[in-house]
Amino acid sequence: MIMEKMVTLPYAFLHMRHLKYFDKMRCLRKRSAVSFLGVLVICLLFMNLYIEDGYVLEGDKQLIRETATHQLNPERYAHTYKDLSNFSGSINISYHYLAGMPLPRKRYLTIGLSSVKRKKGNYLLETIKSIFEQSSYEELKEITVVVQLADFDSAWCEGVVQDISQKFAHHIIAGRLIVIHVPEEYYPLLDGLKRNYNDPEDRVKFRSKQNVDYAFLLNFCANLSDYYVMLEDDVRCSKNFLTTVKKVITSREGSYWVTLEFSKLGYIGKLYHSHDLPRLAHFLLMFYQEMPCDWLLIHFRGLLAQKEVIRFKPSLFQHMGYYSSYKGAENKLKDDDFEEESFDIPDNPPANLHTNMNVFENYEASKAYSSIDEYFWGKPPSTGDFYVIVFEKPIKINKIKVVTGTEDRQNDILRHGALEVGEKTVGSKIGRKCTTYLRLGEFKNGNFEMTDVEHKVLFDISCMRILVTKSQKEWLIIRSISIWTSQISNQ
């Protein structure tokens, strides 16, 4: 039995296929990022100015058509461009429930997949199987998997739903697996689109429809959980990937981010706050014919003021398909940073970090404590220089590991240093510090590692300090600081 769900879409998009200006724009080839961003700003401006209360006046449509066919100066309109926050409403389309129903309780993470019929190979069932098999019983309680069957071949959809229902019936009953479909009538114009980048017409149609597929999927998932991760339908997962994702999110607490990346390939393993999904859905719809989705995501991230990629290593998801969903072409891409087996990711509880060392450019102290592949870099340290971590709450530590230097800069290690822990803090919240420290040991070959710390330190630890015990001529890179906790103190 097919059930439907209705959510809200501006009138303008539902009638986008009736706007004729697409043909006029074929000859406009945007060859630089500046010109693209100019058009992007103007499109956002006019959408914001003219789309109100769910309708667009005919005169306004004409103005948009006329404006879109001219080269525009983004500086002229910069003062009126705000941001994407006005595009936070849901999209009005009808979703067909092919299997499963959302539960009223919000989960921690929604995993979204969009799938179409392939000319060669079919990896969807293996992908779903990997998600569930690589998750523990406790992890399964915190995830929802949403599969969108985005092909217009109803016979194919029915066959896939039957296979999914037979193999994963208990997950559907438990509310962990939902299969949806959006009818073709809700899609915009997919023929005669602009051939950017000299792509053949069928390639443009494929990638443009894919953008719309993802937009509809994101829109559906916006209120199901706190976070959302996008996968493709030919992916293998690492063991206990959810636990790793949670640790990474916790380690970023207090810092701003739009997208966290857990794979370097395509639209695999990209994590978002669920509250950003409506904006991202609208963004993909607005520029669905401009470029592939993974390129659009870079622009979306930048517009929301995250300029740098934040990518976690090792990767949690691996591309396993051999044939692409586009014309069955070979696709042998692999993520060489992927590790399938469970690995011991540190907890790195929330903390304030500071140093008195001379920091080089933007390699600040926080980057050594991050779970992302980045590091602290300072100019030659002197005796008595320090790098201090002040935890938000006293903790019990099981293991500590500090690595200095990198493969490219093996001389930039801490040659003479010690690691110390402190018990009680004094001062205000911003300026808190420990007055006394207990020395745990010395750095050897630029590294420090100790296990069973809770059996060697009898107090709850409030601070941890890396102390330079002798000046050195070489610069210092602190590549990573990893802390595994045994429990959080109640004090």
State the pTM of this model.
0.68
Pick 336 or 479 by higher pLDDT: 479
Each as own residue / partner, the long-range contacts of residues 42-50 (CB below 8 Å, 24 or more positions apart, any chain) are 42/67, 42/72, 42/74, 42/77, 43/68, 43/286, 43/287, 44/81, 44/84, 44/87, 44/286, 45/77, 45/80, 45/81, 47/12, 47/87, 47/286, 48/82, 48/86, 48/87, 49/80, 50/12
The pLDDT value given to residue 383: 96
pLDDT in tens, 232-245: 888 889 999 999 99
Pick 266 or 416 by higher pLDDT: 416
The pLDDT value given to residue 37: 47
| Residue 446 neighbours by CB under 8 Å, 6+ apart | 403, 404, 405, 413, 414, 415
Coil/strand/helix, residue 369? helix
The answer to whether residue 327 scores a pLDDT higher than 60 is: no
pLDDT in tens, 396-437: 999 999 999 998 899 999 999 999 999 988 887 777 889 899
The pLDDT value given to residue 345: 79
Coil/strand/helix, residue 378? strand
> What's the whole-number average pLDDT of the chain?
79
Cα–Cα distance for residue pair 346/256, rounded to 1 Å: 20
Domains located in the chain, CATH noted:
96-319 (3.90.550.10), 351-485 (2.60.120.260)
Six token digits for residue 279: 């904006």
The answer to whether residue 219 scores a pLDDT higher than 70 is: yes
For range 333-343, the mean pLDDT = 59
Q: Which of 114-123, 145-154, 347-356 has the highest mean pLDDT?
A: 145-154
Pick 280 or 251 by higher pLDDT: 280
CA-nearest of 10, 101, 24, 83 to 53 is 10
Helix (H) or strand (E) holding 9: none
For range 264-293, the mean pLDDT = 88
Cα dihedral 279, 280, 285, 286, rounded to 10, equals: 70
Cα–Cα distance for residue pair 206/217, rounded to 1 Å: 16
pLDDT in tens, 83-129: 455 566 678 888 999 999 988 899 999 999 999 987 766 789 999 99
Six token digits for residue 411: 């001389």
The pLDDT value given to residue 419: 97
Coil/strand/helix, residue 426? strand
The answer to whether residue 225 scores a pLDDT higher than 60 is: yes
CA-nearest of 72, 79, 75 to 43 is 72
The pLDDT value given to residue 411: 94
pLDDT in tens, 16-55: 444 333 343 334 343 444 355 454 544 543 444 333 333 3
The answer to whether residue 334 scores a pLDDT higher than 50 is: yes
As to burial, measured by CB atoms within 10 angstroms (0-12 exposed, 13-18 middle, 19+ buried), residue 408 is exposed
Cα–Cα distance for residue pair 208/192, rounded to 1 Å: 11
CA-nearest of 422, 416, 407, 424 to 480 is 407
pLDDT in tens, 54-68: 333 333 333 333 333
